[in-house]
Amino acid sequence: MFLQLLSEEPGSDSYQYGLLKGKQILSFLSQLMPQKGLYFAGDQLTIAEITAGSILFRLEDAGGLSLADYPRLADWSARLQGRPSWQAIALSSEEWQRVNRIMRVLPMLWERRRRRKSVAES
């Protein structure tokens, strides 16, 4: 889903599919958030926060999706971003743009590699 939003042109079928899947994932994650707990597992930070948080942290930069429609996730994300340990490792905007450029090129490189392998096996 994330790769589709980064690598596909807005309006393409693949991009639209990525948006649909992204909305389903955000809805699912929002439902997992407890009403009163700070994190997925209650009041303790877990690997779930690190995993989901690292993707959702820059979700809006990928385009098309926003945590504004998911207030519990938006609050959760703000809590994560407010942690000193998170701030110490968070990518800057420039670093994120560099990652974004790499993510846009990866599908083309994978396809080229797949084709070369296919030709070599023929």
Q: Which residues contact 38 (CB under 8 A, 6 or more apart)?
A: 76, 79
* Confidence tier at 28 by pLDDT (50, 70, 90): very high
Residue 78: name the closest of 105, 35, 39, 42 by CA: 39
Residue 113 CA to residue 105 CA, distance in Å, equals 13
DSSP state of 39: B
Whether the per-residue pLDDT at 2 is higher than 70: the answer is: no
- Sort residue 7 into left (φ over 0), alpha (ψ -120 to 50) or beta: alpha
- Looking at residue 59, its amino acid is L
* pLDDT, tens digit (0-9, with 9 covering 90-100), for 36-80: 878 888 888 889 888 888 878 777 776 678 888 999 899 999 989
- Looking at residue 30, its amino acid is S
